[in-house]
Amino acid sequence: VICTNATYHGNTAAVAQLSSIFEPAEGYGPHIRTVRWPDQYRTPDMTDVQTLTDIYLDDIRQAIQSLKEAGIPFAGMILCPIYANEGLPNIPEGYLEQATKIVRDAGGLIIADEVQAGFGRTGKMWGHQSTGFVPDIATMGKPMGNGHPLAGLVARDELVDRFREKDMYFNTFGGNPVSCAVGNAVLDVLENENLISNAASTGEYVLSGLRKLAKKHSIIGDVRGKGLFFGVDLVKDHISKEPAVEETRKLINDMKEHGILISSIGEFNNVLKIRPPLPFNKENAELLLEGINHCLSRL
């Protein structure tokens, strides 16, 4: 299985193997290959987007080749469609379509981990819709139950049928009525309160506010985001783009004192992770932007 070099997909035995930001205690098995996530901000010596895209696509080709040379059959590639844990990069145009093709041509499946990106977060129902590719399997959790433990998996019939032919699968809590009612309620609220279009419109508003803050505070190197999910990349300076890790940690704590909970993400842990609830409105957005401005001024 291929995953990126700065990701997290969970902590059961199989997915901990795919979590490159926290090394599993038992180490990595020989069946895992990591590839660089498609970064357009801190890029390896690139000349243009096409060259950059080719560099990252080549990583995938090499990973597949390396599995082949080791005699390990290729299963596929898992990715968060918006690369949330990697730091919400702006994904080079065409990268995901071509990556998907390379994986499928080699007989692999594309798994979209919608645990962070799904259920309207990006201003579309699914993260993969917002970054323009169609997965073979989608896994979902977290927002699916809005706090209640609920998770799911969607795949085409033939894949699920093959699994069922090989494995006898059941579990005690699968499909229990309480969790199903919660899941239905989440879908109702998303629909009835127009939360997906709210994520898109309020998200744009916050993004433009963050961009204004970037003009004022030089520590902000880059502002990225989709819907109601934002990444603010903090740097020591704009030329070296050296991650301002310590300042990020301080800012998050100052924000907490100020009554606003945010976190950090990214390969270097220097990207402010801002992921407000989906009913977030412009008034809430003003509060957030004022809070960030205030805490940045005190850094």
Ligand X SMILES: Cc1ncc(COP(=O)(O)O)c(C=O)c1O
The piece of 7-15, 41-49, 70-78, 235-243 that touches ligand X (CB under 6 A) is 7-15
What is the rounded distance in angstroms from the CA atom of residue 230 to the CA atom of residue 223? 7
Residue 277 in 3-state DSSP? coil
Task: Decide: is 152 part of the binding site for ligand X (CB under 6 A).
Answer: no
Q: Which is nearer to ligand X, 9 or 33 (CB)?
A: 9
Choice from 85, 100, 130, 264 touching ligand X (CB under 6 A): 85
Residues in Cβ contact with 94 at an 8 Å cutoff, skipping those fewer than 6 apart = 53
Task: Decide: is 267 part of the binding site for ligand X (CB under 6 A).
Answer: no
Count CB neighbours of 65 within 10 A: 13
Q: Which is nearer to ligand X, 14 or 181 (CB)?
A: 14
Count CB neighbours of 176 within 10 A: 12
Least spacing, CB of residue 176 vs ligand X, in Å:
17
Least spacing, CB of residue 7 vs ligand X, in Å:
7
- Exposed, middle or buried by CB within 10 Å (0-12, 13-18, 19+), for 245? middle
AA identity, residue 237: D
What is the rounded distance in angstroms from the CA atom of residue 48 to the CA atom of residue 39? 13
Task: Retrieve residue 120's tokens.
Answer: 């309207």
String marking each residue 8-47 x if it binds ligand X according to CB under 6 A: xxx-------------------------------------
Task: Decide: is 229 part of the binding site for ligand X (CB under 6 A).
Answer: no
Q: Which is nearer to ligand X, 154 or 213 (CB)?
A: 154
Task: Decide: is 268 part of the binding site for ligand X (CB under 6 A).
Answer: no
Binding site for ligand X (CB under 6 A): 8-10, 80, 84-85, 113, 115-116, 141-142
